[in-house]
Amino acid sequence: MESQEPESHKSQSSAAACRSTPTREPYPSYLRLYENGELGRRARRLLDLLEDCTVCPHQCHVNRKKEERGFCQATAEPEIASYGPHFGEEEPLVGSHGSGTIFFSHCNLRCVFCQNYEISRAWDAERVSLEELASIMVSLQARGCHNINLVTPSHYVPQIVGALEIAVGKGLHTPLVYNSGGYDAVDTLKLLDGIVDIYMPDFKYASGEVSRKYSGVRDYPEVARLAIKEMHRQVGDLVIDEEGIARRGLIIRHLVLPHGLAGTKEVMEFIAKEISPRSYVNLMAQYYPAFKAYQYPEIARRISRKEFEEALWIAREASEEFRLA
Ligand code: SF4
């Protein structure tokens, strides 16, 4: 989820109509899979993928357990940049005690404007074992965080599920937020069905030419469409509880770029027609030219107020029922 500047999200919930009373289903969902042993089976299946890595759409087929590195540069041992309660995320994630973010190092995208480039390029990464990652999850819960917010998780799905199994054994009962750049493999997402309660992908671009130029992957739009459909199939529209906290569902982020380069119209129409007209959409105005963006004159500036207002109008035109953060 590398285009995000963690401290700068501004959000407001307009979701009163979507608040719900908790059901009697096991919650978070992964508790059921832990009880019946499926969580452990999924973890082992996912961890096996690291020997011939097909975890994400790059399908690198490297053996990460032997320190071979594919596009993302991540090996089998997870690396993190930081973790802790975070109050800059969308309001339904933050509540009164914050969202329990874990910032994973490396990334499976190469965004030239990455606002977290020190993290995505692993300049200051710390290797942790699965047991340590599990302890971090439990420590965030102990600090009262409303969720475990996995930031840029796509290349570490096996390790996250492996750590989750350990963490549940230590008492974890806080829902997971899968906070990705949207470049996720459907086969991997299917193995997260019943594990993740809240998906929060970006949908960055509608054009493959634009995604190739600024994020290094030409098939981003097709991949993101399929991934977001699968995420929505699993969890549906965002449901917020009576305390205003996200319980389950999909949040989609879209960063507005200068000159309409993100393809906001196509993205919003796709969400309205093929995901849900009642989607929770965070239309983000905080683009600024970070990292290598100054090498590209057309994106070497912030967006104007007019550009953002146009994006908002486009979103409203696509669906009057969007819940816009
Ligand atoms: S997770 Fe990394 S090594 Fe595996 S397929 Fe994706 S980019 Fe390649």
Cβ 166 vs Cβ 134: under 8 Å:
yes
Instruction: State the distance from the centre of ligand 1 to the C-alpha of 165, rounded, in angstroms.
Output: 22
User: Residue 11: its pLDDT value, please?
Assistant: 37
Instruction: State the distance from the centre of ligand 1 to the C-alpha of 23, rounded, in angstroms.
Output: 37
Report which protein residue has its CA nearest ligand 1's atom 6: 56
Q: In 10 A of CB 207, how many CB atoms?
A: 15
Task: Write out pLDDT tens, residues 36-94.
Answer: 999 999 999 999 999 999 999 999 999 999 999 999 999 999 999 999 999 999 999 99
Find residue 198's DSSP bridge partners: 177, 249
> Does residue 76's CB lie within 6 angstroms of at least one atom of ligand 1?
no
> Does residue 56's CB lie within 6 angstroms of at least one atom of ligand 1?
yes
User: Residue 19: its pLDDT value, please?
Assistant: 54
Residue 258 tokens read as: 């200068």
Return d(Cα 266, Cα 108) in angstroms, integer: 23
Location of structure tokens 């549906």: 236
Instruction: State the distance from the centre of ligand 1 to the C-alpha of 70, rounded, in angstroms.
Output: 5
Tell whether the model's pLDDT for residue 7 goes beyond 60.
no
Task: Write out pLDDT tens, residues 160-183.
Answer: 999 999 999 999 999 999 999 999
pTM of the model: 0.93
Taken in order of first residue, the domains within the chain and their CATH numbers are: 6-324 (3.20.20.70)
Return d(Cα 220, Cα 185) in angstroms, integer: 11
Q: Per-residue confidence at 121, pLDDT binned at 50, 70, 90?
A: confident
Under DSSP, the state recorded for 253 is E
